[in-house]
Amino acid sequence: MIKIITADDHQIVLDGLKALLEDQSEFQVIGEAKNGKELIEACNTLNPDLILTDIGMPVMDGIEALRSIKKTHPELKTLVLTTYTDRRNIREMLKIDVDGYLLKDSGKAVFIEAINTIMTGEKYYDKRVTEIMMNSFSKSKKKPQSNTPLTKREKDIVRLISEGLDSQEISGILFISLLTVETHRKNIYTKLGINKIASLVRYALEEGLIE
């Protein structure tokens, strides 16, 4: 039985999540919270396996709550369920190292798949989140990119590194393994003949990969 705490500032959402989750025999909703402070208190007293939370909540938002919870309960699985699709919130959640980020208009099958994937120890990010992160990069029109020896995937990784994301975060965004990310990073540094992130960022700027 997977014990879950849900957090959202709308009771109708909490009611809907509980009905949906408890329709599955392997899930049990053991607590609810309407703000980040209540979520922290619930985690400290109820010992859940998974937190399912929105971002925008009163008193304390989901970002601050999860940042605190991850410090005291690093083993606790976390799934963000939200309507927020802006780059800032996505990036903040990635830095906290949440286990999943799902949009609220996702279907039931995707929702259940996300939870089951997370509980196996893997990350689950909505594919639209990946697209938002990758499409958010502004490419300079001043410099041609045809001379770079990097592949499309390597360019994507360079952009994410330039954003300050580490290999684990990049792995989740691109839906590839951590080992694959590390292999790409080594190939990038070898191709470009550099070994520092600052030099990589400078190269990305010069080649128009980032602005």
**55, 90 Cβ separation under 8 angstroms:** no
Task: Please report which confidence band the pLDDT of residue 211 belongs to, taking 50, 70 and 90 as the band edges.
Answer: low
Task: Please report which confidence band the pLDDT of residue 71 belongs to, taking 50, 70 and 90 as the band edges.
Answer: very high
CATH of 2-126, one of 3.40.640.10, 3.40.50.2300, 3.60.21.10, 3.40.50.300: 3.40.50.2300
Pinpoint the residues of the chain covered by CATH 1.10.10.10.
Answer: 137-206
Mean pLDDT of the 22-51 span: 96
Task: Please report which confidence band the pLDDT of residue 79 belongs to, taking 50, 70 and 90 as the band edges.
Answer: very high
pLDDT digits (tens, 9 = 90+) for 135-154: 665 444 445 545 788 998 99
Mean pLDDT of the 98-110 span: 93
CA distance 63 to 37: 11
Mean pLDDT of the 123-131 span: 85
User: Among 26-30, 131-135, 139-143, where is mean pLDDT lowest?
Assistant: 139-143
The CATH class for the domain spanning 137-206 reads mainly alpha
Position 137 scores a pLDDT of 56
Position 201 scores a pLDDT of 86
pLDDT digits (tens, 9 = 90+) for 159-185: 888 878 888 888 878 878 889 999 999
Pinpoint the residues of the chain covered by CATH 3.40.50.2300.
Answer: 2-126
Q: Rounded to two decimals, what is the model's pTM?
A: 0.72
**20, 111 Cβ separation under 8 angstroms:** yes
Is the pLDDT at 21 greater than 50, yes or no? yes
Q: Is 34 left (phi over 0), alpha (psi -120 to 50) or beta?
A: alpha
First to last CA, the chain: 48
